[in-house]
Amino acid sequence: MRWMCCLCTVGQVVHTLPEGDKVAGVTSLADEVYLLRDKERDQVEVYDVINFRLQRHLTVPNICEFVDMTSCEHYRCVYIASDLCLIHRLDVQGAVAQWAVVGTPTGISVNAAHNVLVTCRDVRKIKEFSSHGEFLRELSLPDDVIGPYHSVQTRNGEFIVCHAVPLTFGVPTRYIHRVCKISADGRHIIKSHGGEVGKQVGQYDEPVCLAVDSNEFVFVVDMENRRVTLLSPPLVYVRQVVSGDDLKGNPSRLCLDVHRRRLYVADNEYKDDRSRAGRVVVFSV
């Protein structure tokens, strides 16, 4: 079968949002871009998507150690995950609610049913909640999907999951870094891309975040390789969309705006394992 992709060109930089504290997440909602900074107040910066002017700041009280951010057009709200085992719901008017998660979140997404999917790396589970935090179900991932960072559910109910973990088979240690397509019940790996850690085509070094377009092509943030890779729906390599030449630091999060054909990539610089500066680079794809 030949797959048609509406977003398969090499990304072109069209804008860079202002540099500041580390960017922990980025998402788009309606005509605005929401950028999550790792700081105590005014954590969320809201920009116009047309001219990228700062519109306002939003503060999420009693929050720290952010890990990810996503949004829901249906409920017109933004979700923020904290590694304190909390999910925060922030609506466009600024009202904030939160709920607890058993397990430490490493990634969040919203599925076609407008529910929140929370990937918990430590317990190797995907947990599904309603928009207001009602626990709906959890899925245990297959035994060899260890160290999941992020998951996205496709229209037919399957899951795309990126994971990275050292697996020891004698000496030396083998580092398995992959993107997997997993059955709707969470039990079986249908397809995978990647394997032992590396820099070559078909390899990853910390695949930490995903985005899926309307034709189910998959964008993968390959953090330590400083690139974003595009895969076809069966998880076959298509091309590199973003390279390290377009970035100052390491990509860690991304958001795909299918309607405007834009990819928002969080780009953080590190020194001595600490974040020094962060920005969001906007690509036309």
Report the CATH number at residue 40.
2.120.10.30
SS3 assignment, position 200: coil
Residue 252 lies in a domain: no
Expressed as residue numbers, the domain containing 118 is 23-216
- What are the CA-CA distances from residue 104 to residues 70, 77, 183 (Å)? 17, 22, 23
Q: What tens digit of pLDDT does each residue of 208-236 get?
A: 999 999 999 999 999 999 999 999 999 99
Q: What tens digit of pLDDT does each residue of 39-72 get?
A: 888 899 999 999 999 999 998 887 778 899 999 9
pLDDT at 139 over 90: yes
Tally the domains of the chain: 1
Which strands sit side by side in the sheet containing 262-271, from one edge to the other? 12-16, 274-284, 262-271, 250-257
pTM recorded for the entire structure: 0.92
pLDDT at 141: 96
Euclidean distance between CA atoms 244 and 116, whole angstroms: 31
The sign of the CA dihedral 207, 105, 84, 278 is positive
Q: Maximum CA pair distance of the chain?
A: 55
CA dihedral 62, 64, 70, 72 (to 10 degrees): 0
pLDDT at 152 over 50: yes
Q: What tens digit of pLDDT does each residue of 8-25 get?
A: 567 899 999 999 999 999
The pair of three-digit structure tokens given for residue 8, joined into one six-digit string: 């398969």
Residue 285 lies in a domain: no
